[in-house]
Amino acid sequence: MKPFLTTCRLLRSLNRFSVKPSPLVSLSTSSYLCDQKKKSSYEAVDQAKYSRLVWSVLSRAPVQTLESLFEEDDVLYGPVGKRKAPGQEQRAGVPQNWFPIFNEERNMKPHTSVSSGPLKIPLQRNVIPSVTRILQQTMTPEQSFFLERWKQRMVLELGEDGFAEYTSNIFLQGKQFHEALESILSPQENLKGREEHLQCGYIKSVQHILKEISGVQALESAVKHEVLKYVGLMDCVAEYQGKLCLINWKTPEKTKLFIRNTYDNPLQVVAYMGAVNHDAHYSFQVQCGLIVVVYKDGSPAHPHFMDEELCSKYWAKWLLRLEEYAEKQKNQSIPKPV
């Protein structure tokens, strides 16, 4: 009996530490197992917030330059044709009829006394073309294309009447700015008027340039080149950092950091320089140019100085434009065959 009891106790103790068989692992691809898969980090992103961010970035139109417009049109319409416009072959070469921009018979320094006031010769309207007209009539096909494209965009946005009002306001702002500058640079300017002008954004923009200007010789004065047959109305002739310059004020809506961004403005400057140096109304000679890009919001203006060498290069280009204009006028005067 005792051995039997001992055996029972042994079996009972073994049963206490028994190991139950584990269930077989299932290889099922049930939805339960798929739910256990690790989530991607992208799934945790706020999709609504992300969509708004993408839209805000893509909806901001970049500031367009002439180069970016070319690239855009290449994508939309293909590259611009390589065919040259009439007269464009001459533009890349040397002027056929050379005339110097500088006058060897003129003195470098003016004799006019500043105290007597700057020269202001009125512009006489006649059959001789203006510098502005010549440049407009000889724009490259690319310049004409983008100018017309810009106009069409503005008309679509503002309407015909709105665009007319917009251009009228731009012209009026430029006129008022030039009048304010003329008043400030004239010796007769009173302190009260000077304080009123300082409230203008354009004048604030150009303040650091005005500190470098002295010895004003001419303001809003007409010039005429008797030999090359063109006229114009220049903005200013004065000393800038000690050098006598023909100064051109520009009030664009976009920033012009480099002189290449001013398009035909350097040609306008050298055209006036060449006329001043050979116009009998002026006793001095100008050898440098200055384009001052002024901003309505009061941001510091950008001065683009043109030394004698740079002026000579642009003068050659201006002579080519003159020849191109003369050729166009000649072709228009020839009667077409019936």
The tokens for 81 are 């044709």
Q: Check: CB of residue 146 under 8 Å from CB of residue 69.
A: yes
For residue 148, the model assigns a pLDDT of 86
235, 256, 264, 279: the active-site residue: 235
Q: What is the largest CA-CA distance in the chain?
A: 151
> What band does 155 get if pLDDT is binned at 50, 70 and 90?
confident
Q: Check: CB of residue 158 under 8 Å from CB of residue 170.
A: no
Paired residues of 219 in beta bridges: 236
pLDDT top residue among 217 and 126: 217
The tokens for 336 are 């077409």
Q: Write the pLDDT tens digit of every residue in 168-190.
A: 888 888 888 988 998 899 876 55
Give the number of other CB atoms < 10 A from CB of residue 217. 22
What average pLDDT does this structure show over 85-112?
A: 70
175, 224, 243, 250: the active-site residue: 250
- Which of 141-145, 188-192, 261-265 is predicted with the least confidence, judged by mean pLDDT? 188-192
Residues 6+ apart with CB under 8 A from 140: 85, 88
Name the residue type at position 229: K
Q: Write the pLDDT tens digit of every residue in 5-43.
A: 555 565 555 454 444 444 444 444 444 443 444 555 545
Q: Which of 219, 304, 300, 225 is nearest to 261 (CA)?
A: 304
Q: Write the pLDDT tens digit of every residue in 117-132.
A: 899 999 987 789 999 9
pLDDT top residue among 286 and 154: 286
Whether 250 is a known active-site residue: answer yes
What average pLDDT does this structure show over 327-336?
A: 78
Name the residue type at position 122: P
pLDDT, averaged across the chain? 77
Pairing of strands 288-293, 243-250: parallel
Terminal C-alpha separation, the chain:
147
Domain locations along the chain: 106-138+202-332
The tokens for 319 are 């002579």
Place of tokens 């691809």: 29
For residue 79, the model assigns a pLDDT of 55
Cα separation of 89 and 93, whole Å? 7
For residue 124, the model assigns a pLDDT of 85
Range with the largest mean pLDDT of 63-72, 198-207, 232-241: 232-241
Q: Is 70 exceeded by the pLDDT of residue 235? A: yes
Phi/psi of residue 335, nearest 5 degrees: -65, 140
The tokens for 231 are 């006229």
> What band does 86 get if pLDDT is binned at 50, 70 and 90?
very low
Q: 3-state class of 287 per DSSP?
A: coil
